[in-house]
Homo-oligomer: A and B are copies of this chain.
Amino acid sequence: MRRGTNLPRMGDFNQSVILEAIRRSGEGLSRIELVEATGLSAQTVTNITRRLLDDGFIREAGRTINGPGKPRVTLRLVPESGFSVGVHLDPAVMTFVLLDLAGRVVRRVGVRTPKTDPRQIIEAMASTIETLIAGSGVDRERIAGIGVAAPGPLDPDKGTVIDPPKLIGWHRVPLRAVLAEATGLPVTLEKDTTAAAVGELWTRHGSSDESFVFVYLGTGIGAALARDGDVVRGSTRNLGEIGHIVVDPEGPPCLCGSRGCVEVMCTPQAIVERAERAGVLPDDREANDVEAVEARFTELCERAAAGDDRAAHVLRQSAGDFAALTAVLTNMLDVDRVVFGGPFWARLAAVFLDEIPGRLDRLSATRAVHSLPVAGSVVGVDVGAVGAACVVLDSALTPRTTDLLLED
């Protein structure tokens, strides 16, 4: 049953709206500009900004004289009024960032993922977080929490990671509880793909209401969906499991019983294997060695960039597979645009941004209605960790109309 709303809910929502407007403006806004931006009355804006000033989230930052009348006071975010920690758990590397309220990376640490059991990995995670916080000099009281981005699927109720194919030995590991216990900070667990899309939404400029599908290129390939200024999580926070979409019926067989799935065509390992089959890379790598795959992948991309036609041909074929995948997603989801990102994206960006837009346009069911812009994420290779930290800030600060509803 749909619930109603009341005045206190309205007040909280409008406060989030105003803080969001000031944060997104970068340079700050005057009270009059806030009235224009939010549609709220001058009295409401005055009351709410006074509260935000008292709580230290914003500050007065100079006056502008604009013709006759009272000078306008610019209100600006206080980035040091809040922080969050973001962790990206990847089979090869763990990345840690400390973010301020403006979404800036204050401090960053990257470490190789230990080849030990999950509990020891979580202990290593906790001690790296302590080092990160201590080194930053930030008051622990100001840290809203820790966001962890992990490969899906996840069990959100239990806070566990369920059998991610590339994380050996991770079977229903209660990551959230163990890390919260070890650090004493609240922990949010989120899929790496979802975290990346939150990072994109939190960080980028322009309209926050444009919908996009985020195609995530990590050790595995995943997708996320943003709509109406928010990332859609799905019923169990597992939206975006696209590993078994068939992108090429002539492709190699997959363990799922089909052929040519994303899992055997589009992952960095699949791209390296394609190059090996084509004789572009030597065929002497140890199977499933994630570091060796990454090294070969980098070599392939570097050779393509340096003008090696055969290497470039492999990447163009992969771009075709990604265009087929993206068309399935955009035809199903009907979004405004497509964003590519994730740890492996930067190395493919040049070839993919050249090849994919035209191919996607030809496969688009809505090409008669609108074009589909394709772009790389505004967040770099650390998008998993930055996104995870943004998940914490976003859940605390972004206005959501559903927060207006009275609880059961």
Contacts and interface: CB of A to CB of B under 8 A. Distances in A.
Interface of A: 1-7, 10, 13-14, 17-18, 20-21, 24, 37-41, 44, 152-156, 162-163, 172, 207-209, 211, 223, 227-229, 232-246, 248-251, 256, 258-260, 324, 327-329, 331-336, 363, 365-366, 368-370, 399, 401-402, 404-408
Contacts of A366: 153, 236, 238, 241
B363 A244 contact: yes
Contacts of A399: 2
A-side binding surface: helix, strand, loop or mixed? Answer: loop
Contacts of A331: 241-244
Contacts of A242: 331-332
Contacts of A41: 6
A153 B239 contact: no
Contact of A38 (B156, B251, B365, B406): B406
A373 B249 CA distance: 29
B365 A235 contact: no
Given A260-B249, A402-B401, A368 B2 contact: no
Nearest to A158: B369
Contact of A369 (B7, B10, B236): B236
A402 B334 CA distance: 19
Given A228-B402, A238-B366, A369-B155, A4 B40 contact: yes
A58 B208 CA distance: 40
Given A238-B334, A260-B249, A404-B401, A244 B328 contact: yes
Nearest to A162: B368
Nearest to A331: B241
A7 B236 CA distance: 34
Contact of A329 (B4, B233, B332): B332
Contacts of A232: 227
A187 to B, nearest CB: 19
B4 A236 contact: no
Given A235-B335, A329-B332, 16 more contacts: A1-B24, A2-B399, A4-B14, A4-B17, A6-B44, A7-B10, A39-B405, A153-B365, A155-B369, A241-B332, A242-B331, A245-B246, A246-B249, A249-B251, A401-B404, A404-B404
Contact of A162 (B24, B245, B329, B369): B369
A234 B213 CA distance: 11
Contacts of A209: 2
Contacts of A335: 234-235
B260 A235 contact: no
B238 A249 contact: no
B38 A153 contact: no
B21 A2 contact: yes
B365 A39 contact: no
Contact of A234 (B1, B18, B237, B333): B333
A44 B402 contact: no
A233 B240 CA distance: 18
A44 B9 CA distance: 15
B44 A4 contact: yes
Contacts of A324: 258
Contacts of A17: 2-4
- Counting chain B CB atoms within 10 Å of each CB, which of A152, A163, A236 scores highest? A236
Contacts of A404: 5, 401, 404
Contacts of A208: 1-2
